[in-house]
Amino acid sequence: MKEKVKIGIISFEHMHALSYSKALCNIEDAEIAGIADADEFRGTQMAAEFNTKYYKYYKELLETDLTGVVVCTNNKMHCQVSVDAANKGKHVLVEKPFAVDIESAEKMLKAAEDNKIKIMTAFPMRFNSNVLEAKKLIDAGEIGDILCIIGINHGKIPSGWFLDPTLAGGGCVMDHTVHLSDLMRWFVNSEYKKVYCECGNLIHNKNIDDCGIVNVEFENGVFASIDCSWAHHKNYTIWPQVDMEIIGTKGVLEVKACAQTERIYNAKEETVGDVAWNESGDEGLIREFVDVCKTGKNPFVSGLDGAKAMEVALAAYQSAAACRTVEVEHIQI
């Protein structure tokens, strides 16, 4: 019997750890070899659900014969955990945002390079079927040269550490800018140059930015806007919304990454809910990471991609504080 690739999950602080773990269970040549979580109740519960061993301390998990780890801690811990994993020779898939500052991102990338391991950013939208089709059409020249992009990534306001800037690195601008800034950079094939942002605590009264508009300019002259607000109220029928309108010299391409849904009217509970299908991108992301762990190949979406997306969020906060357009500070590697 072919030996399975052993993957560890470090923390279920981020809710995506659950969907990533479920995706791993669907991959025949991979297994969850251990779960580490400082929250003993949560960690033991998840270890029991996925029939694996629980570790209270992630460094103990790193001492085992894992090939790679999925890091789903709070954002501030991404750097320390990823560097520790790299130093133990483990490939790393780190939840977005890649890090909370430039210095941390540079440490993570350097640790991966020094230890000759691969580091990926968890951008499942890169594996979304609708987004992939849009990329094909753009690359085939169907809409000509891109002139500008209008992007929306709305969602419900999260809770817990997401509302603590010291752990999250910020609010909705940090949480929701990075998905679209990554996709836009991928579509446009140019680096970011300038950012102007207005954001604030205007919707939920949680003392953290919950709405924002981020305007960006690329080095090749393309410009774009990103609405990154936690705008959906608690009874909104579905969580994800990743929409783009891509304007080119030959046409306009509209992308609704999460539009395939089934609406369920529950008479007993008196609720209406939408269930998304066939488009989260989570399984594609995890399959790519398993393949990276098996082969050591360069990942389809890298740590550097995550760092480049993070640059936009950091520049957005600088812009909002200064009330002016700012130049994007780039990672030095």
pLDDT at 184: 98
pLDDT at 277: 67
Task: Please report the sign of the dihedral spanned by the C-alpha atoms of residue 291, residue 295, residue 301, residue 306.
Answer: positive
Q: The domain that contains 262 carries what CATH number?
A: 3.30.360.10
Distance, in Å, from the CA atom of 160 to the CA atom of 173, rounded to the nearest integer, reads: 17
Domain assignment present for 297: no
Tell me which of 64 and 273 has the higher pLDDT. Answer: 64
Burial class (CB in 10 A: 0-12, 13-18, 19+), 147: middle
- Shared-domain flag, residues 12 and 35: yes
Residue 321 pLDDT greater than 80, yes or no: yes
- Shared-domain flag, residues 113 and 130: no
- Shared-domain flag, residues 144 and 49: no
Instruction: Convert the pLDDT of each residue in 189-223 to its tens digit.
Output: 999 999 999 999 999 999 999 999 999 999 999 99
Domain assignment present for 291: no
Instruction: Convert the pLDDT of each residue in 270-307 to its tens digit.
Output: 888 777 766 678 999 999 999 999 999 999 999 999 99
Q: The domain that contains 31 carries what CATH number?
A: 3.40.50.720
Domain assignment present for 135: yes
Whole-model pTM over 0.85: yes
- Shared-domain flag, residues 138 and 259: yes
Read off the DSSP letter of residue 136: H
Q: Which of 6, 127, 18 is nearest to 72 (CA)?
A: 18
Residue 87 pLDDT greater than 90, yes or no: yes
Number of domains in the chain: 2
Q: Which of 220, 223, 250, 240 is nearest to 137 (CA)?
A: 250
Domain assignment present for 52: yes
pLDDT at 29: 92
- Shared-domain flag, residues 13 and 134: no
How much is the average pLDDT of 227-252?
A: 89
pLDDT at 233: 83
pLDDT at 157: 92
Average pLDDT, the chain: 94
- Shared-domain flag, residues 105 and 150: no
Residue 266 pLDDT greater than 90, yes or no: no
Structural domain containing residue 98: 5-123
Domain assignment present for 289: no
Query: Residue 97, preceding bond cis, omega within 30 degrees?
Result: yes
- Shared-domain flag, residues 115 and 140: no
Domain assignment present for 286: no
Q: Which of 181, 151, 152, 149 is nearest to 248 (CA)?
A: 149
